[in-house]
């Protein structure tokens, strides 16, 4: 877990400097894997969960429309979670794993800047 967390931290540090000032209120965590409840909240069906489908990462906004909706938490941090086990299971090759960790982190950071999953699908080949 420590090594995986260091890789995620290195990806965050490698982002362009001009982005860093906009990421001051973003916390990036690494967890082993999402639980079934979270997968269901994210729209996974029981069949998909049974087949082993999962998430690589998740952006959780705080404040309006986010996890703490209704409270005045505009200055509270947003949270990005990167899930270790699904990435390692799907990408056993070290080089591919590193690429996918980077891709996942960038994907979740893009959500922080307001891009939707549909917006990001158009750019999949870029990273």
2-126 domain in CATH 2.30.30.280?
A: no
Q: Is the pLDDT of residue 58 over 70?
A: yes
Put simply, whether the predicted model's pTM sits higher than 0.95 gets the answer no
Interatomic CA distance for residues 57 and 79, integer angstroms: 11
Provide the pLDDT for residue 47: 96
Chain mean pLDDT for the chain: 84
3-state secondary structure of 94: helix
Nearest to 97 by CA among 2, 4, 1, 24: 4
The predicted model gives 49-54 an average pLDDT of 94
By three-state DSSP, how is residue 67 classified?
coil
- Specify whether the CB–CB gap between 57 and 109 falls below 8 A: no
| Cβ(26)–Cβ(78) below 8 Å | yes
Average pLDDT over residues 87-106: 92
Q: Is the pLDDT of residue 94 over 70?
A: yes
Q: Which residues contact 67 (CB under 8 A, 6 or more apart)?
A: 60, 61, 79
Model confidence over 33-47: pLDDT tens digits? 999 999 999 999 999
Cα 29-67-118 angle, rounded to 5 deg: 80
Question: Is the pLDDT confidence value at 63 over 80?
Answer: no
Q: Is residue 62 scored above 60 in pLDDT? A: yes
Give the HSE-up count for residue 42: Cα atoms under 13 Å, Cβ half-sphere: 18
Distance of CA 111 to the CA centre of its chain: 9
Give 125's pLDDT tier (boundaries 50, 70, 90).
low
Average pLDDT over residues 18-39: 90
Give me the mean pLDDT over the 74-95 stretch: 88
Question: Which percentage of the chain shows pLDDT scores above 90?
Answer: 48
């Amino acid at each position: 877990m420590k090594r995986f967390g260091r890789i995620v931290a290195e990806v965050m540090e490698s982002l362009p400097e001009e982005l860093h000032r906009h990421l001051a209120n973003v916390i990036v965590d690494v967890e082993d894997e999402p639980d079934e409840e979270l997968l269901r909240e994210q729209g996974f069906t029981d069949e998909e969960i049974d087949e082993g489908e999962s998430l690589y990462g998740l952006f959780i906004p705080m404040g309006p429309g986010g996890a703490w909706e209704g409270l005045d938490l505009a200055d509270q941090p947003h949270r990005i979670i990167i899930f270790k086990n699904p990435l390692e299971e799907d990408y056993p090759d070290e080089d591919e794993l590193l690429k996918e960790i980077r891709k996942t982190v960038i994907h979740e950071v893009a959500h922080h800047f307001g891009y939707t999953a549909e917006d990001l699908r158009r750019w999949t080949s870029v990273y």
